[in-house]
Amino acid sequence: MRKPIIAGNWKMNKTPEEAAELRRALVPAVKDATCDVVVCVPAVCFGAVKAAAEGSNIRLGAQNVHFAPSGAYTGELSVGMLKACGVEYVVIGHSERRQYFGETDKTVNLRVKAAVAGGLIPILCVGELKDERESGYTDAIVEYQTRMALSGLTAEQVTNVVIAYEPVWAIGTGLTATDEQANETIGVIRKAIGRLYGAAVADAVRIQYGGSMNPGNVKGLMAQPEIDGGLIGGASLKAPDFTAVVRYDA
Ligand code: PEP
């Protein structure tokens, strides 16, 4: 049985002071969650979130990582730096990074390999654009992105990666893939992993859905057999909404 994992992606939102609110608002509300709970926050909030979540079941995540251990990469953060701040998970290949910051399948792969080698758990994002879905290329796109991103990892390492299937047209738009669409495409990703790394890995790897997941649609999505959790943007910013998503089965 795969343990579901629900991760908030705060994107470029919240100051350390706002993040500290977590202790009062989120920590008690999600303490009995049956899924893993992660918040992927801006780097300036690592300290505040770490302190606020101390002793709780909330794990700390980052939103990107550089692949070099150190060096002349102004503005970047290494795996070692994230780990020193208590980060355990890192979002890699989010569509906003692909769209606005020149992220490619190649750099996604470099980041995934560095994260895994250094002991961080990647939350690897894959997903198709609207016209790719409309043209019937969804399966080919998600298979290709997944294969490229995981290239060079062993089967054992892949087991520990979390994949987020995020149709780009559903991110921040209020449009959600239907339960069936999300389930079907995640099934395609799982089958591809099975072909590449074997049935046991495909069976064990956790694949989330992301794209306007919220308290209103989480139950239906989480009832799908292939969906092992969610990557939550907008609805992770308000503690009551994120709590309702995390407690989808309560
Ligand atoms: C995301 O940022 O990964 C995301 C899914 O955002 P939203 O929930 O706002 O669509």
Residues carrying an active site annotation: 94, 166
Per-residue pLDDT tens digits for 63-73: 999 999 999 99
Residue 212 CB–ligand 1 contact under 6 Å: yes
Least confident of 14-28, 60-74, 83-97, 99-113: 14-28
Q: What is the DSSP letter of 44?
A: G
Residue 233 CB–ligand 1 contact under 6 Å: yes
Tell me the pLDDT band of 2, cut-offs 50, 70 and 90.
very high
Ligand 1 centroid – CA 7 distance (Å)? 10
Per-residue pLDDT tens digits for 203-216: 999 999 999 999 99
Per-residue pLDDT tens digits for 170-201: 999 988 899 999 999 999 999 999 999 999 99
Spatial CA neighbour of 175 closest among 139, 114, 129, 108: 129
Q: Please enumerate in sequence order all residues whose Cβ is within 8 A of that of 81, keeping only pairs 6 or more positions apart, or say none.
A: none
Q: Is the pLDDT of residue 1 over 90?
A: no
**Could you tell me the CATH superfamily of domain 5-246?**
Aldolase class I (3.20.20.70)
Q: Is the pLDDT of residue 151 over 90?
A: yes
Closest residue by CA, ligand 1 atom 1: 233
Q: Is the pLDDT of residue 250 over 90?
A: no
Tell me the pLDDT band of 234, cut-offs 50, 70 and 90.
very high
Atom of ligand 1 at shortest distance to CA of 235?
A: 8
Comparing 225 with 1, which gets the higher pLDDT? 225
Domain boundaries, the chain: 5-246
Ligand 1 centroid – CA 102 distance (Å)? 19
Residue 124 CB–ligand 1 contact under 6 Å: no
- Find where tokens 């989330």 sit: 208
- pLDDT for 22: 87
- Torsions phi, psi for 5 (to 5 deg): -135, 125
Residue 168 CB–ligand 1 contact under 6 Å: no
Closest residue by CA, ligand 1 atom 7: 233
